[in-house]
A and B are shown apart, each in its own frame.
Chain A
Amino acid sequence: MEIFHDTKIDFLKYRTPAMLVSLVIILAGVFMIWKNGIRYGVDFSGGTAIHLKFRTVVPLDSIRNTLKGNGFPDSGVQAFNDPTQVMVRLPQTRVTEEETEELAERVATLLSANALKTLAPQGKRDLNSATPNDINGYLQLKDPWKVGDPAKYKGEVTKIRQMRDANAGLLPSFEQMRGIDAKVLASLKESFYVGDLAILSNEYVGPQVGAELREQAKLAIAWSLAGLLIYVWFRFEFLWGLSAIACLAHDVLITLAFFAFSGREISLTVVAAFLTIVGFSLNDTIVIYDRVRDNLKSMRTQPLENVINLSLNQMLNRTILTNGTVTIVTIVLFLFGGEVINDFAFAMLVGCISGTYSTVYIASAIIVLYNRYFGKKRMATVKAKAAKV
Chain B
Amino acid sequence: MKNVQWKLLMVLVLAVIAGYGIWPPKERIRLGLDLKGGIHLVAEVKIDEALAGYTDRFIEVLRKELQDKQIPFQNILRKTNTSFVVSGIAPDKQENLKKILENHGEWDLTLTGNEGLAALRQAVINAKAEEAVNLAIRIIRERVNRFGVAESVVQRQGLTGGRMIIQLPGVEDTERVKDLIKNTARLELRLVTAGPAPSAEALGPIPEGSEALTHSEVQQDGRSVTNYYAVQKQAIVSGEELQAANRTTDQYGRPAVNFTLTSSAGSKFGDFTEANRGKALAIVLDNKVQSAPTIQDKITTDGIITGQFTIEESNDLAVMLQSGALPAGIRFLEQRVVGPSLGLDSIRKGMLACAIGGGIIVLFMLLYYKFSGVNAVTALILNMLFLMALMSYFEATLTLPGIAGIVLSIGMAVDANVLIFERIKEDLRLGKTARSALQSGFAKAFWPIFDSNLTTIIAAVFLYWFGTGPVKGFAVTLIIGICCSMFTAIFVSRLLFDWLLSRRRKVESISI
Are the C-beta atoms of A209 and B408 separated by less than 8 Å? no
Asked if B68 CB lies within 8 Å of chain A CBs, one says no
In-complex Cβ contact of B342 among A200, A231, A279, A283 (8 A): A200
State how many angstroms separate the Cβ of A104 from the closest Cβ of chain B. 8
Q: Mark B323-363, 1 if CB is under 8 A from A, else 0.
A: 00000000111111111111011101110110011001100
Q: Name A328's closest neighbour in chain B (CB-CB).
A: B360
Residues of B within 8 A of A294 (CB): 444
Residues of A within 8 A of B348 (CB): 338
Are the C-beta atoms of A318 and B337 separated by less than 8 Å? no
State how many angstroms separate the Cβ of B269 from the closest Cβ of chain A. 35
Are the C-beta atoms of A204 and B459 separated by less than 8 Å? no
Within the assembled complex, what's the spacing in Å between the Cα atoms of A220 and B408? 18
Asked if B456 CB lies within 8 Å of chain A CBs, one says yes
Are the C-beta atoms of A314 and B471 separated by less than 8 Å? no
Are the C-beta atoms of B401 and A269 separated by less than 8 Å? yes
Q: Name B409's closest neighbour in chain A (CB-CB).
A: A279
Asked if B474 CB lies within 8 Å of chain A CBs, one says yes
Are the C-beta atoms of A279 and B478 separated by less than 8 Å? yes
Are the C-beta atoms of B342 and A169 separated by less than 8 Å? yes
Q: Name B330's closest neighbour in chain A (CB-CB).
A: A97
Are the C-beta atoms of A286 and B451 separated by less than 8 Å? yes
Are the C-beta atoms of B357 and A328 separated by less than 8 Å? yes
What is the interface of chain B, defined by CB distance below 8 A to chain A?
Answer: 34, 42, 172-175, 178, 311-312, 331-342, 344-346, 348-350, 352-353, 356-357, 360-361, 364, 367-370, 400-401, 403-405, 407-408, 411-412, 414-415, 418-419, 422, 425-426, 444, 447-448, 451-456, 458-463, 465-471, 473-474, 478
Asked if A79 CB lies within 8 Å of chain B CBs, one says no
Are the C-beta atoms of B456 and A201 separated by less than 8 Å? no
A residues 317-355 near B (Cβ < 8 Å) are 317-318, 321-322, 324-326, 328-330, 332-333, 335-341, 344, 348
Pick 7 A–B contacts, CB within 8 A, sort by A: A101-B174, A276-B404, A318-B415, A322-B411, A329-B361, A330-B407, A344-B400
Are the C-beta atoms of A336 and B349 separated by less than 8 Å? yes
Are the C-beta atoms of B333 and A206 separated by less than 8 Å? yes
Are the C-beta atoms of B454 and A287 separated by less than 8 Å? no
Are the C-beta atoms of A231 and B455 separated by less than 8 Å? yes
State how many angstroms separate the Cβ of A285 from the closest Cβ of chain B. 8
In-complex Cβ contact of B345 among A286, A330, A338 (8 A): A338
Are the C-beta atoms of A329 and B458 separated by less than 8 Å? no
Are the C-beta atoms of B411 and A287 separated by less than 8 Å? no
In-complex Cβ contact of B407 among A161, A232, A276 (8 A): A276
Are the C-beta atoms of B447 and A224 separated by less than 8 Å? no
In-complex Cβ contact of A132 among B172, B451, B462 (8 A): B172
State how many angstroms separate the Cβ of A134 from the closest Cβ of chain B. 8
Residues of B within 8 A of A203 (CB): 335-337
Residues of A within 8 A of B455 (CB): 228, 231-232, 282-283, 286
If A201-B336, A216-B467, A232-B455 are given as contacts, then 12 extra A-B residue pairs at C-beta distance below 8 Å, sorted by A number, are A132-B172, A169-B342, A198-B339, A198-B341, A208-B333, A216-B466, A275-B471, A286-B455, A317-B422, A321-B364, A338-B345, A338-B346
A residues 275-324 near B (Cβ < 8 Å) are 275-276, 278-280, 282-283, 286-287, 290-291, 294, 314-315, 317-318, 321-322, 324
Residues of B within 8 A of A199 (CB): 339
State how many angstroms separate the Cβ of B355 from the closest Cβ of chain A. 9
State how many angstroms separate the Cβ of B92 from the closest Cβ of chain A. 50
In-complex Cβ contact of A169 among B339, B400, B426, B478 (8 A): B339
Are the C-beta atoms of B346 and A169 separated by less than 8 Å? no
Within the assembled complex, what's the spacing in Å between the Cα atoms of A269 and B357? 20
Q: Name A317's closest neighbour in chain B (CB-CB).
A: B422
Within the assembled complex, what's the spacing in Å between the Cα atoms of A314 and B34? 43
Are the C-beta atoms of A287 and B465 separated by less than 8 Å? no
Residues of A within 8 A of B352 (CB): 336
Residues of B within 8 A of A100 (CB): 332, 335
Are the C-beta atoms of B466 and A219 separated by less than 8 Å? yes
Residues of A within 8 A of B311 (CB): 137
Are the C-beta atoms of B415 and A322 separated by less than 8 Å? yes
With A51-B342, A220-B462, A337-B349: A97-B332 Cβ-Cβ less than 8 Å = yes
Are the C-beta atoms of B342 and A340 separated by less than 8 Å? yes
Q: Name B453's closest neighbour in chain A (CB-CB).
A: A283
In-complex Cβ contact of A227 among B361, B414, B462 (8 A): B462
Asked if A213 CB lies within 8 Å of chain B CBs, one says yes
What is the interface of chain A, defined by CB distance below 8 A to chain B?
Answer: 1-2, 51, 53, 97, 100-101, 131-133, 137, 161, 164-169, 198-206, 208-209, 213, 216-217, 219-221, 223-228, 231-232, 235, 268-269, 271-273, 275-276, 278-280, 282-283, 286-287, 290-291, 294, 314-315, 317-318, 321-322, 324-326, 328-330, 332-333, 335-341, 344, 348, 389
State how many angstroms separate the Cβ of A332 from the closest Cβ of chain B. 5
Are the C-beta atoms of A279 and B357 separated by less than 8 Å? no
Are the C-beta atoms of B353 and A220 separated by less than 8 Å? no
Q: Name B368's closest neighbour in chain A (CB-CB).
A: A1
With A1-B370, A336-B356, A344-B400: A282-B459 Cβ-Cβ less than 8 Å = yes
Q: Name B352's closest neighbour in chain A (CB-CB).
A: A336
In-complex Cβ contact of B454 among A133, A226, A231 (8 A): A231
Are the C-beta atoms of A344 and B466 separated by less than 8 Å? no
Are the C-beta atoms of A201 and B342 separated by less than 8 Å? yes
State how many angstroms separate the Cβ of B5 from the closest Cβ of chain A. 31
In-complex Cβ contact of A329 among B338, B360, B460 (8 A): B360
Are the C-beta atoms of B341 and A275 separated by less than 8 Å? no
In-complex Cβ contact of B462 among A164, A167, A224, A291 (8 A): A224
Residues of A within 8 A of B412 (CB): 279-280, 283
Residues of B within 8 A of A278 (CB): 459
Residues of A within 8 A of B401 (CB): 268-269, 272, 344
Within the assembled complex, what's the spacing in Å between the Cα atoms of A279 and B462? 13
Interface centre among B352, B453, B463, B468 (most CB of A within 10 A): B463
Are the C-beta atoms of A231 and B458 separated by less than 8 Å? yes
Within the assembled complex, what's the spacing in Å between the Cα atoms of A165 and B342? 8
Within the assembled complex, what's the spacing in Å between the Cα atoms of A328 and B349? 16
Residues of A within 8 A of B332 (CB): 97, 100, 204, 206
Are the C-beta atoms of A322 and B463 separated by less than 8 Å? no
Are the C-beta atoms of B470 and A269 separated by less than 8 Å? yes
In-complex Cβ contact of A280 among B331, B408, B460, B463 (8 A): B408
With A165-B341, A167-B341, A283-B452: A97-B331 Cβ-Cβ less than 8 Å = yes
Within the assembled complex, what's the spacing in Å between the Cα atoms of A235 and B453? 13
State how many angstroms separate the Cβ of A138 from the closest Cβ of chain B. 12
With A101-B174, A164-B341: A336-B353 Cβ-Cβ less than 8 Å = yes
Residues of B within 8 A of A225 (CB): 459
